[in-house]
């Protein structure tokens, strides 16, 4: 049983709950993270979530996202999950946080998350885990911004919220 960390609106730990349960009945606010990886050409590594994901399957999203487990620091969990999903690790920097809530009609589950957003760079060849990732692609940023505007239903809710803020951090 995978327990995740419940938090308040200030990201203070207030308890633990089994992961699936935390997404049921309107969702309980819990800690998560989103990783955005770029290569030296400025392209972003996207993943299409595997069809078997318990919610928001087959949507395009940032490189990797998940939850720290009970007793695990977020800055440790990001590296664990990046290795598990894409088979590589890289230096990651936390750049901002935000809270969001999104309902998935297909699974009837709700994301209610305090999201820690990390950025990194990588120029190697990813080795995607097919249990996690249906497809992946390195995409050009201008194309991506246009596609998200023209085809928003192809992308996960948290990705659409975080994308502009991530790109602003790259400009700094």
User: Is residue 113 among the annotated active site residues?
Assistant: yes
Cβ distance 36 to 63 under 8 Å? yes
Per annotation, catalytic residue among 32, 64, 65, 85: 65
User: Is residue 73 among the annotated active site residues?
Assistant: no
Per annotation, catalytic residue among 64, 85, 111, 113: 113
Catalytic residue annotation: 65, 113
């Amino acid at each position: 049983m995978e327990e995740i960390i419940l938090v308040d609106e200030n990201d203070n730990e207030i308890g633990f709950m089994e992961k699936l349960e935390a997404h049921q009945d309107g969702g309980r606010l819990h800690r998560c993270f989103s990783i955005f990886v770029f290569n030296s050409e400025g392209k972003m590594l996207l993943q299409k979530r595997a069809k078997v994901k318990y919610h928001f399957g087959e949507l395009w999203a940032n490189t990797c996202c998940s939850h720290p487990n009970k007793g695990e620091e977020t800055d440790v969990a990001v590296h664990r999950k990046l290795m598990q999903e894409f088979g590589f690790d890289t230096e990651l920097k936390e750049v901002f946080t935000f809270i969001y809530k999104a309902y998935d009609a297909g699974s009837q589950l709700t994301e209610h998350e305090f999201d820690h957003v990390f950025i990194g760079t990588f120029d190697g060849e990813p080795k995607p885990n097919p249990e996690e990732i249906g497809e992946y692609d390195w995409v050009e940023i201008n194309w991506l911004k246009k596609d998200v505007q023209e085809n928003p239903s192809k992308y996960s809710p948290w990705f659409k919220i975080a994308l502009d803020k991530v790109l602003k951090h790259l400009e700094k």
